[in-house]
């Protein structure tokens, strides 16, 4: 399964588009971590791996502006520091 197939199976997370093939890994990671449930997060880890997901997340939160909720940023910063 590709990351785009994963996104197609979760249209509620990607309500702004129907063109799932054009979604980047970063966009998918952001949507799943922000709005997905724990099963979605685990599915993301199975496809990308926890290290690659953590790398994408850390790159995103290093920017001056992010779309992550502050509680999500805090939780996954702690989570990835421990497990990735």
Give per-residue pLDDT as tens, 1-57.
Answer: 899 999 999 989 888 888 888 899 999 999 999 999 999 999 999 999 999 999 999
How many domains, the chain? 1
Residue 74, pLDDT > 90, answer yes
From CA 9, how far away is CA 20, in angstroms rounded? Answer: 10
Instruction: Decide if 32 contacts 7 (C-beta within 8 A).
Output: no
Residue 63, pLDDT > 90, answer yes
CB-based burial label for 43 (10 Å; 0-12, 13-18, 19+):
middle
Nearest to 11 by CA among 19, 30, 33: 19
From CA 74, how far away is CA 49, in angstroms rounded? Answer: 20
CB-based burial label for 52 (10 Å; 0-12, 13-18, 19+):
middle
What is the model's pLDDT at position 58? 98
66 lies in which domain range? 3-83
């Amino acid at each position: 399964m590709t990351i785009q197939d994963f996104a197609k199976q979760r249209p509620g997370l990607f309500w702004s588009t129907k063109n799932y093939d054009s979604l980047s890994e970063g966009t998918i990671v952001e949507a799943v971590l922000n709005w997905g449930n724990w099963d979605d997060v685990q599915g993301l880890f199975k496809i990308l791996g926890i290290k690659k997901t953590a790398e994408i997340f850390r790159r995103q939160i290093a920017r001056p502006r992010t779309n992550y909720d502050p509680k999500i940023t805090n939780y996954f910063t702690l989570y990835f520091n421990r497990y990735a």
